[in-house]
Amino acid sequence: MTSDPTELADRFADAWNSHDMGALAGLFEDAARFVNVVGMFWRSREEIRQAHAFSHESMFRNSTLAVKAVENTALAPGVVAVHVHWHLEGHLGPTGEPEQPRDGVLLLVARETPQNGGWQIAVAQNTDAIPGVVTIPQR
C-alpha cells in the first residue's frame, strides 16, 4: 500500500526492476484487472502476479523500467487515474534476441482504501507507444 497515489508509479517500477512480482502484485486489489500491451486480460491480483512472474523468468528477466513522467487525474473522492509514461530496456524478443528499447503509457486506476492503509490499483492498462504511427480521424 502507498499513502500517495503518485508513489504507485515508482513502486511499480521498483518491483519490476527487482523482478519481485509478489511486490508488484501487492500494489493491486484482490479483484484487480490488468490489460497488457498485447491485450492479455488478467482478472485478479494472483493472475497479475503469475503472468508477470512468468514473463520475468524469460523475456523481462534482465529488463529495466524507468518512469519518465507521472500525471494524476482525480476521478471521484478516493479514486484517481495515474498515467505513467515509461521507458523499457533490456528485454528479449520471442526467440531470445535482444529487443530495441520501448516507451509507453501505463494507466493505473487506483482507489484509496484507508482500512488497508493507502492506495491500491483497481484497474491497469498498458500501451506501447509506436513511433511514427498516427490515427486517422473518422469522417
Using CA atoms, how far apart are residues 52 and 42, in angstroms rounded to an integer?
A: 10
Q: Taking a C-beta distance cutoff of 8 angstroms, is the pair 34, 48 a contact?
A: yes
In a domain, 27, yes or no: yes
Q: What pLDDT score was predicted for residue 108?
A: 98
137 inside domain: no
Reported as a pLDDT band with limits 50, 70 and 90, residue 5 is: very high
The answer to whether position 135 is within a domain reads no
Boundaries of domain holding 73: 7-128
How does DSSP assign the chain, residue by residue? -BSSTTHHHHHHHHHHHHT-HHHHHTTEEEEEEEE-TT--EE-SHHHHHHHHHHHHTTTTTT-EEEEEEEEEEEEETTEEEEEEEEEEES-B-TTSPBPPPEEEEEEEEEEEEGGGTEEEEEEEEEEE--TT-------
For 32-52, write each residue's pLDDT tens digit. Answer: 999 999 999 999 999 999 999
Average pLDDT over residues 81-87: 98
Domain count, the chain: 1
CA 104 to chain CA centroid, nearest Å: 10
Indicate which CATH number applies to the domain containing 44. 3.10.450.50
The reply to whether 134 falls in a domain is no
Kindly state whether residue 138 falls inside one of the protein's structural domains.
no
Quick one: average pLDDT of 58-64?
A: 97
Q: Could you give the percent of the chain with pLDDT greater than 90?
A: 86
> How many CB atoms lie under 10 A from the CB of residue 65?
22
pLDDT single digits (tens) 98-133: 999 999 999 999 999 877 779 999 999 999 999 888
pLDDT confidence bin for 138, thresholds 50/70/90:
confident
| Residue 39: predicted pLDDT | 96
pLDDT at residue number 19: 98
| Residue 99 located in a structural domain | yes
Q: Is residue 39 part of a domain?
A: yes
Is 1 inside a domain boundary?
no
